[in-house]
Structure 1
Amino acid sequence: MHSSLARYLIFFQYIGTKYSGVVKVPPQQLKKKGVQDHLEAAILRLRPENHVSLYVSSRTDAGVHALSNSAHFDLQRKNKAPFTEEILRDAINFHLREQSIRVTRAVRVPLDFHSRFQAQSRTYLYRVALGPDKTQIPLSDSELCWNLCTTELDIDSMREAAAILKGTHDFSSFRAINSDLPFKNPVKTMDQICVQPGSSFTSNHFHRHIPFWELTFTSKSFLYKQVRRMAGALVAVGRGRLSPLSLKKVLDARDSTAFPQGLSAPAHGLFLTNVEYRDEDLKFPKMTTSEEQNLR
């Protein structure tokens, strides 16, 4: 029996509260680990022959959550056929039992597939709650939204501001000043920016109506902390602290120092909800008869 190298794409979710972000942290960091650290540790317990490294499609920072992030990796078993997709998913989850991380899907992909570069779009969702104070927010939502401690927002002005940000622009003003990727192209196309009503995860059982709003952003890629800055700016417009015209001036400045201090939205309200791929990129070619016999 011959072993065979297989490449897999996994989709995974996590509550980011207790992690330093999605990517690995330096070995000397003893406090919070990254989601990638725990995923790789779980895969290593499957006893692969090769050194396993995950290539994560979408970076999220400490405290940011994901309903669907993705990553690819190679796996080779000693004298055994590759795992089926379902068995691989369940085996990784078995070793993640103590973590707030779950693999939702595994797909065997061609050996030249890349989870980051072949992603067609990424969608982020930012949740805000209009509770008068933090004690009014259900416990199940308290670390999964931004409680604005206000009871209303100017939604029409927020949607006017969202329309300004939609489309192709130089988003240098929305890049974090301390970005470790200063030479990344700041021109991005926002395919979707919308403001719509949301809900509490336990609204039917909380016996108190708390208005939730969701800000959705879709693009092929984003600058470092761009989504949190856009979300914070839209909320500032909704609270009357920034006008749509002022937001356009910030955008047109193309300078990260032009972004008003203190407006960036906190991490814990942000979710990566989807990483989209073309179906044809995920299709793994069927084995020939001779290849199937080699695996028996």
Structure 2
Amino acid sequence: MTTISTTRYLFFFQYFGTKYRGVMTVPLKQPVLGVQNYLEKAAEKLQLPTPIKFVISSRTDSGVHALCNTAHVDIERKLGRPAFSEEVLVNAFNILLQPEPIRILGVRRVPDTFHARYSARSRTYVYRVATGCYYPSEIPVFEQNLCWVTRRGHLNISAMQEAAAFLVGAHDFSTFRSASAELPVKSPFKTLMRAEVRPSSGFLLHHSQKEDLRFWELEFQSRSFLYKQVRRMAGVLVAVGQNRMQPHHVKSLLEAKDVMAFPPNLLAPPHGLFLKEVEYCEDDLEMGTPEKKSS
């Protein structure tokens, strides 16, 4: 009889999403893998009694980045072996993940009732837009694949802010869901806590040779989102900022409650999107009994 102790941890991690097929694991035969594939490959090198499975809190698609995503894992240790400290796990994983653009920001021991996805109180996404240039090559090299170069004039921020106000609150977001089927089908009712539109300084903007270059940020917060909802909202708000739509059109799209009512070619590209933060209630993170034991 071998006694095993199991400890649950919450991992905070970030990644540059351009080279990955999203965050979720995909079959190893695929030419492009997910971030989770690399996390679990790194975990294999720890030679634990049972392979680690990362339970991801927030799905991101191909090309989408994360400033901070989260996942929980259960790590088993044989009798007499102490649980790993948070610092040891952070350092070990960051060494084992090299040279992938994936970094562990922190680790925290959590109760075994905690769930990275279902315990989340909110998720915040930021969408970045660049204006004032026609070709993507005109932006600083450090901004490549980190923003949407719209190739049009600067944005009408006041109109975008007016339009964004229609999105805030509890709505049926059927018009803003992906046309591709979600299995299982999710409820289209979501509550958007925040939708902000603001200018941004950009990264190393002062090194750009384009004097007219400007950056903008669209930030959305909700407990959860529909598949591609953020990119659809961002695309519509940018269209409003370019005066191709009026703010009241956003209200009309919400009232339509029909995915077919979404205007064609307004889905914002993935590379401008960042998962910024996943928030939890501190009470859910507090440890009660630190370990559970099984024989």
Return the TM-score normalized by structure 2.
0.93
Alpha-carbon distance, 1:201 to partner: 1.2
Number of the residue aligned with 1:11? 12
Task: State which drifts further: 197-206 or 82-91.
Answer: 197-206
How much does 1:182 deviate?
Answer: 5.9
Deviation of the 1:136 alpha carbon: 2.1
Change (3 A) 1:257 1:182: farther
Contact 2:201-2:215 at 8 Å conserved across structures: yes
Structure 1: where are the runs of 5+ without partners?
A: 292-296
Match of 1:164 among 166, 185, 201: 166
- Tell whether 2:237 aligns with 1:234: yes
Q: Is residue 155–residue 195 contact of structure 1 (8 Å, CA) maintained in 2? A: yes
1:278 matched to 2:281? The reply is yes
Match of 2:223 in 1: 220
Q: Is the 8 A contact 1:119 1:277 kept in 2?
A: yes
**Which residue in the other structure is 2:77 paired with?**
77
* Residue identity opposite 1:219 in structure 2: S
Residue 122 of structure 1 aligns with which residue? 123
Q: Provide, for residues 224-265 of structure 1, a one-character-per-residue CA deviation record: whole Å limited to 9, x for no partner.
A: 000000000000111111112222211111111110111010
User: Is contact 1:128-1:146 (8 Å) kept?
Assistant: yes
Do 2:139 and 2:208's aligned partners in 1 also have CA atoms closer than 8 Å? no
Point out 4+ residue stretches in structure 1 off by more than 4 angstroms. Answer: none
Distance (Å, rounded) in 1 between the aligned partners of 2:248 and 2:167? 11
Corresponding position: 1:93 with 2:94: yes
Preserved CA contact (<8 Å) 2:153 2:242:
no
Q: Partner of 2:25 in structure 1?
A: 24
With 177-186 and 37-46 compared, the bigger mean Cα shift is at 177-186
Residue 123 of structure 1 contacts residue 218 of structure 1 at CA under 8 Å; is this kept in 2? yes
Alignment partner, residue 51 of structure 1 = 51
Structure 2 letter corresponding to 1:26: P
Structural mapping, 1:128-167, within 5 Å: 128-133=129-134, 134-167=136-169
**Residue 294 of structure 1 aligns with which residue?**
none
Where do 5+ consecutive residues of structure 2 fail to align? Answer: none
8 Å contact kept, 1:3–1:81:
no
Aligned length: 288
What is the distance in 2 between the residues matched to 1:165 and 1:206?
34
SS, match of residue 249 in structure 1: helix
1:279 maps to a residue whose letter is: E
**CA positional deviation for 1:267:** 0.1
Q: Is 1:103–2:104 an aligned residue pair? A: yes
- Return the structure number with greater strand share: 2
Query: Is 1:16–1:65's contact at 8 Å kept on the other side of the alignment?
Result: yes
Supply the AA of the counterpart residue of 1:202.
L
% identity of equivalent residues: 49
Separation in 1, partners of 2:111, 2:137: 50
**Residue 3 of structure 1, CA deviation:** 4.6
Preserved CA contact (<8 Å) 1:131 1:137:
no
